[in-house]
């Protein structure tokens, strides 16, 4: 029951994250990317202050070390994705970021000395093909590959790095969340992400990479409330607490539903439509989840 509860919780988290795509996309018209990341995570850290007594009680050097490594992976994933979005399209960014499921088996072998089961491998392959289709606005297979393969640039490379860092985060979270209390891990990784975001903001601004802008309005306020409370504090707490009851490969496949939820919210809020190939992609991603569930083998239990 813990396994199915964990997978249900991860799917719920992915639904929360799916809505952030549209919300943040609108907000970035009034705030620069790294400034948004900094405020979001520092605000999230402040929200956890009432739990500091419990956090410090459960924290020692080992917990601190684990939380800092998690936070580093977390920050590197967010920063490279945000920087990459300045140079590449949302379509290519969505596909490349979702490809983190490819790297999860590699990090499982490196960190945990485990080989993912047959069901997970088949599920990952189906998810990658599904993401490829879902990310395309074209109506032909040739158009799908042309859109994703044309004009490879620095933004695409940074987004590949994001996928690598997030895959490492998911696998390392599987290790440390089984050993330590989830609350200090959540606080440490969120706080470190905010602090490193502030440092990156200073460097990017000084180097002329990011022109700081901030226009406070109702949508910006709503965006910070949603992303800080729901998409960061609640989502990170639930993921850190429950992911240990499933496998990293299964968690990656479930989180790959995010582009489906993003497309749904984009249709509801922005009236963006999904192509015929997009619908096929949704079916393939769902099939990948079923394959990983039904064909799972014992070496991943």
Q: What is the tens place of the pLDDT at every residue in 145-162?
A: 666 666 667 877 888 899
Mean residue pLDDT of the chain comes to: 84
Looking at the chain, how many residues does it have? 301
Task: Give the model's confidence band at 260: pLDDT under 50 very low, under 70 low, under 90 confident, else very high.
Answer: confident
Could you tell me which residue, 21 or 138, shows the higher pLDDT?
Answer: 21
pLDDT at 137 (0 to 100): 62
Q: Which two tokens stand for residue 66?
A: 């684990």
Q: Which two tokens stand for residue 54?
A: 């419990």
* DSSP string of 220-280, one letter each residue: HHHHHHIIIIIIIIIHHHHHHHHGGGS-HHHHHHHHTTHHHHHHHHIIIII-----HHHHH
Rounded-to-integer distance, Cα 290 and Cα 301, Å: 16
Angle (CA) 115-78-6 rounded to 5° is: 50
Answer positive or negative: Cα dihedral of 8, 10, 13, 19: negative
pLDDT at 180 (0 to 100): 93
What would the mean pLDDT of 188-192 be, rounded to a whole number?
A: 96
CA distances from 163 to 78, 101, 129, 214, 246 (A): 10, 8, 16, 28, 20
Phi, psi of 214 (to 5 degrees): -155, 110
* DSSP character at residue 299: G
Rounded-to-integer distance, Cα 156 and Cα 114, Å: 30
CA nearest to 269, candidates 223, 201, 215, 234: 223
Rounded-to-integer distance, Cα 94 and Cα 131, Å: 8
Three-state SS for 179?
coil
Task: Give the model's confidence band at 299: pLDDT under 50 very low, under 70 low, under 90 confident, else very high.
Answer: very low
- Residue bearing tokens 């998810």: 127
- Residue bearing tokens 């009851």: 245
End-to-end CA distance of the chain: 14
Three-state SS for 23?
helix
pLDDT at 132 (0 to 100): 76
Q: Which two tokens stand for residue 101?
A: 């499921």
What would the mean pLDDT of 242-266 be, rounded to a whole number?
A: 84
- Per-residue pLDDT of 8-29, as tens digits, reads 999 999 999 888 877 887 888 8
pLDDT at 298 (0 to 100): 43
Alpha carbon dihedral 155, 161, 166, 172, in 10-degree steps, equals -170
Helices (H), 150-245: 154-176, 182-207, 218-225, 235-242
What would the mean pLDDT of 80-98 be, rounded to a whole number?
A: 71
Count of C-beta atoms within a 10 Å radius of residue 141: 12
Its pTM stands at: 0.85
Angle (CA) 72-115-286 rounded to 5° is: 80
């Amino acid at each position: 029951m813990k396994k199915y509860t964990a997978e249900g919780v991860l799917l719920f988290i992915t639904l929360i994250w799916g809505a952030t795509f549209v919300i943040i996309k609108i907000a970035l018209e009034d705030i620069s990317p790294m400034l948004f990341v900094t405020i979001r995570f520092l605000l999230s850290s402040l929200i956890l202050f009432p739990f500091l007594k419990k956090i410090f009680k459960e924290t020692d050097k080992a917990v601190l070390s684990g939380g800092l490594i998690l936070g580093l992976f977390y920050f590197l994933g967010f920063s490279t994705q945000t920087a990459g979005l300045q140079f590449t399209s949302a379509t290519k960014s969505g596909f490349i970021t979702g490809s983190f499921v490819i790297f999860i088996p590699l990090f499982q072998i490196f960190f945990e000395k485990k080989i993912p089961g047959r069901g997970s491998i088949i599920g990952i392959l189906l998810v990658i093909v599904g993401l490829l289709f879902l990310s395309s606005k074209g109506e032909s297979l040739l158009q799908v590959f042309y859109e994703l393969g044309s004009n490879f640039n620095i933004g695409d490379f940074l987004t590949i790095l994001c996928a690598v860092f997030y895959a490492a985060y998911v696998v390392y979270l599987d290790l440390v969340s089984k050993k330590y209390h989830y609350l200090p891990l959540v606080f440490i990784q969120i706080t470190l992400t905010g602090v490193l975001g502030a440092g990156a903001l200073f460097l990017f601004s000084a180097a002329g990479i990011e022109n700081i802008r901030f226009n406070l309005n109702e949508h910006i306020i709503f965006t910070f409330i949603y992303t800080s409370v729901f998409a960061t504090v609640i989502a990170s707490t639930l993921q850190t607490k429950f992911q240990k009851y499933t496998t990293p490969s299964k968690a990656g496949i479930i989180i790959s539903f995010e582009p489906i939820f993003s497309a749904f919210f984009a249709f509801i809020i922005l009236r963006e439509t999904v192509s015929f190939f997009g619908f096929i992609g949704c079916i393939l991603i769902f099939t990948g989840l079923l394959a990983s569930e039904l064909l799972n083998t014992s070496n991943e239990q």
